[in-house]
Amino acid sequence: MIATNGHTPRNADASAVDPDLFDELKNQLKRVKIDEDDTEYWRVESDYLMDEDQLFIYSQQRAAANAQQKANALAEASPSGNILTPIGDNEQSLVGILQHGKIIRWNAGTVLTYCVLRRTFPKQAWYDETVATMKQATADWQATCGISFSHRADLDSSEGVRPQGVVFPVRFIDAGGQFIAAAFFPHDPPDRRRVLIDPSYFSTNFDHVGVLRHELGHVLGFRHEHIQSGAPPICPDEDKTDTFDLTNYDPRSVMHYFCGGAGRRELTISDSDRSGSQSVYGPPLSNFDLMDP
């Protein structure tokens, strides 16, 4: 998943982007249509969906990063000895998201309510499994840092795909295996806040609870671990614009893909994940005897 700085029209500051890169990404990336609005999305970094405006911003960020890398290479080769500091030149991670120079997180006291939309699942067993795995995955994060989730089971039977009364719905969508599951970031607009489950989720050899632990890490505002230097070079190359490193690089992180011998199919929350998430959200709320005003 990749952070964007809002929903900016494609024609905003068009001079700042490489149009060839934008067109290249549009042609290369997989496309998915979400049935409730028939909007076309591009799959970026395997488990995040961008509309055309967001993809435009992403192409701007990538173009700027590419230009900086070229400038760094020229500086390193320069006889003057003036060497620019490469973008993201450290080995720190869990990776948070920055906006306006500040780390993004949910507001203190926010309860992340969700429902699991029963009518979207073609099989009762798939719905039942998703309810159970979401329950465990949310409990694991609540035991890790100061965040609270709540399943609004009374809204599971909602007819629409954006029911009132929850921060986000969890729903089934047949994306043709283009992702196992996909989620969102805290600064995404409300109509983009959803966790999507593809049929491949129910047959993957990755731990099913672990997949949702990973996706909920994105919901909390954490980027992929393998974008850091120190990760195996075979791992996916992702843009690091507007990110902040919270802990040392950890190949066992729940946010690390299974690539280059790093990552784990269990996708468990590591000690590094615990310290990084607590630096943003504080210790688990269960550590406190909370008082009402």
Residue 13 is predicted with a pLDDT of 42
pLDDT tier at 57 (50, 70, 90 boundaries)? low
Residue found under tokens 């632990």? 213
**Is 184 in contact with 192 (CB distance < 8 Å)?**
yes
* Domain boundaries defined on the chain: 14-88, 111-285
Residue 82 clears pLDDT 70, i.e. is over it: no
Pairing of strands 48-50, 39-44: antiparallel
Q: What's the average model confidence in pLDDT over 285-291?
A: 89
Residue 69 clears pLDDT 60, i.e. is over it: no
| Token duo for residue 293 | 């005003």
Residue 137 clears pLDDT 70, i.e. is over it: yes
Residue 115 is predicted with a pLDDT of 98
Residue 277 is predicted with a pLDDT of 95
pLDDT tier at 33 (50, 70, 90 boundaries)? confident
Q: What's the average model confidence in pLDDT over 125-134?
A: 98
Q: What's the average model confidence in pLDDT over 203-213?
A: 97
Q: Which comes out higher in pLDDT, residue 128 or 35?
A: 128
Residue 35 is predicted with a pLDDT of 67
**Is 214 in contact with 33 (CB distance < 8 Å)?**
no
CA dihedral of 264, 269, 270, 271, whole degrees rounded to 10: 180
Instruction: Give residue-wise pLDDT tens across range 247-274.
Output: 677 888 898 877 667 668 899 999 999 9
SS3 of 142-194: the string is HCCCCCEEEECHHHCCCCCCCCCCCCEEEEECCCCCCCCEECCCCCCCHHHCC
Residue 238 is predicted with a pLDDT of 65
Measured CA to CA, the distance from residue 4 to residue 12 in angstroms comes to 14
* Rounded alpha-carbon distances, angstroms, from residue 104 to 69, 273, 277: 26, 16, 12
Measured CA to CA, the distance from residue 150 to residue 156 in angstroms comes to 13
User: Where is average pLDDT lowest: 65-74, 81-90, 136-145, 278-287?
Assistant: 81-90
> Across all residues in the chain, what is the average pLDDT?
78
Q: Which comes out higher in pLDDT, residue 50 or 18?
A: 50
pLDDT tier at 228 (50, 70, 90 boundaries)? low
What class is the 111-285 domain?
A: alpha beta
| Cα angle: 191, vertex 238, 211; to 5 degrees | 60
Residue 160 is predicted with a pLDDT of 87
Q: Which comes out higher in pLDDT, residue 43 or 89?
A: 43
Q: What's the average model confidence in pLDDT over 14-37?
A: 67
Q: What's the average model confidence in pLDDT over 271-280?
A: 93
Residue 1 clears pLDDT 60, i.e. is over it: no
Q: Does the global pTM surpass 0.75? A: no
Q: What are phi and psi of 278, to 5 degrees?
A: -70, -25
Residue 139 is predicted with a pLDDT of 98
Other CB atoms within 10 Å distance of the CB of residue 13: 10
Q: Which helix (H) or strand (E) holds 195?
A: strand 195-197
User: Where is average pLDDT lowest: 56-70, 74-88, 202-216, 253-267?
Assistant: 74-88
Mapped onto helix, strand or coil, the DSSP state of residue 141 is helix
Instruction: Give residue-wise pLDDT tens across range 141-186.
Output: 999 999 999 999 999 999 988 999 999 999 999 988 989 999 999 9
